[in-house]
Structure 1
Amino acid sequence: MPFDALDARILRLLLDQPRTSVRGYARILGVARGTLQARLERLERDGVITVAGPRVSPAALGHPVLAFVRIEVARGHLDEVGGALADVPEIVEAFSVAGSGGDLLTRVVARDNAHLESVIQRLGRLPGVVRIRTEIALSERVAYRVLPLVEALAVEAGAESRAAAGAETGAEPGRPEAR
């Protein structure tokens, strides 16, 4: 999927002002509504934009304890255990991982430490679970974000488009065109 400066501007705007209408975005960006709509549809189709909706805080819902639970699974049971994780409401994310820390990495929320312990015990009873290691998060240092990545990609896209424009005019990249 080609990613250009307009895509970067669209993503930056979506991240900065998530509640603006498509018409409002088009006006701010100075593009036709149809152009913006086509770009948004392509970004969704290509999987760049993956979620539409509010980000809900488990802490505000009474689950302030956050833990990362690594689960080691017996050979041949990864799909079974991975599927069972979806039945545990306190698991807000789960990933298959490679490395020395286990086979699954989950993000678990709980009301308090006793509740966390009961969730961990429930996980330990799943058929195929060999070992569990838990790390409790003390504080969030960097909240989930993608804007810095979008900004870096925008710089790259801008540099590539300037280089392409220079190639079309015969100018050397990084040097102004002779007049």
Structure 2
Amino acid sequence: MTVKPAEQPKYVYDPLDRELIALLRRDGRAPLSKLADILGVSRGTVQNRLDRLMESGALLGFTARVREDYDPDTVRAVMMIEVAGKSTTEVIRKLRGLPELQQLHTTNGAWDLVAEIRSSSLADFDRVLREVRMIDGILNSETSILLSSV
């Protein structure tokens, strides 16, 4: 008889969690004391919530956000990806290994995945496209370069 490991209970986010996540999206480097003041709770409460959000997987880390127009030479694109059969999990794992893929989304319709790509040059962009297309399980892709934000 095989014993299955106990599933971790699903974390339920309350309004305080949601507000904390929203604040961190705007400023991932905000000090705990500033977050506590904005939220109207103690610094310890913020720390405990951050710990739980990290443990639950809701927060993956903290990062600096850079303005979209900071580096005008950056190539940004959206790639639609069609995956063969039941290989989606393996394809996602391989795609996550590409640092130029900023976001990866599952979707419905003709395409299985949507990837947001950011590269430092057209040559790097071309390399990323080749690397993605070489992944076993990817049947087809269509990529659009983002020219400007309006």
TM-score (ref. length: structure 1)? 0.56
- Quick one: distance in 2 between partners of 1:111 and 1:128? 27
Distance change in 2, residues 1:89/1:31 (3 Å): closer
Structure 1 gaps of 5+ residues are 142-179
Give the match for residue 133 of structure 1.
142
Aligned to 1:115: 124
Root-mean-square deviation (CA, aligned residues, Å) is 3.5
Identity %: 30
Q: Structure 2 residue aligned with 1:71, among 81, 96, 109?
A: 81
Alignment of 1:69-108 (within 5 A): 69-100=79-110, 102-108=111-117
Q: Which stretch of the first structure deviates more once superposed, 84-93 or 17-26?
A: 17-26
After superposition, what is the alpha-carbon deviation per residue over 1:117-150, rounded to whole angstroms, capped at 9, x for unaligned?
A: 2321222222222111011111234xxxxxxxxx
Residue in structure 1 matched with residue 5 of structure 2 by the alignment: none
Going from structure 1 to structure 2, the CA distance change for 1:103 and 1:29 (only over 3 Å counts) comes to: closer
Determine which structure has the larger helix proportion and give its number. Answer: 1
Q: Which runs of 5+ in 2 are unaligned?
A: 1-11
- 1:81 maps to a residue whose letter is V
* 1:66-116 C-alpha deviation (Å, 9 max, x unpaired): 01111112213222222221232222222222212x112111122333432
> Which protein has the larger Cα radius of gyration, Structure 1 or Structure 2?
1
Normalised to the residue count of structure 2, the TM-score between the two structures is 0.64
The 5 Å alignment of 1:150-161 reads none
Cα distance in 2 between the residues matched to 1:123 and 1:17 = 32
Task: Determine the structure 2 residue equivalent to 1:124.
Answer: 133
